[in-house]
Amino acid sequence: MAGGPIEGQVLLLTAAKASVPAAALPNLVERAQELLGPEIDRYRREYELLCTDGNRELFLVPRSHWDELGEALDSTDRERAAIRRAHEEQLLRIGRRTGRESEFETALEVREPVVIGRGGTEPES
């Protein structure tokens, strides 16, 4: 996942908390990006863009969104929870970096984050 929208440290943190094998998490996150990347223009039209940087865009989506994506990914409940948690942890990490942690935590009370790498699924240099 080097260069992906979910940072390596975030994957490590998520793996420590997730109910899936740590070795499986990068592949799960990558599969989600393969599904999300081609849909980035639709996300830009339909959902709130919370923030963006050179590598990724972070959207807020309805709570049921990850359940729907999980079905499209043919993932288990545990896998879906791990992917969702990786996206949440990435959002919170960016929030801490940018001084917006409180704002992002409040947003997570009612919606879920989706982090999509810019340029679709291709790694950034």
Q: Identify the pLDDT of residue 20.
A: 86
Rounded distance between C-alpha atoms, residue 84 and residue 118, angstroms: 19
Domain ranges of the chain: 8-117
Residues 14 and 89 sit within 8 Å (Cβ to Cβ): yes
Residues of the chain with pLDDT under 70: 1-3, 119-125
Backbone angles phi and psi of 13, in degrees to 5 = -60, -45
Q: Identify the pLDDT of residue 61.
A: 97
| Full-model pTM | 0.89
Rounded distance between C-alpha atoms, residue 51 and residue 24, angstroms: 28
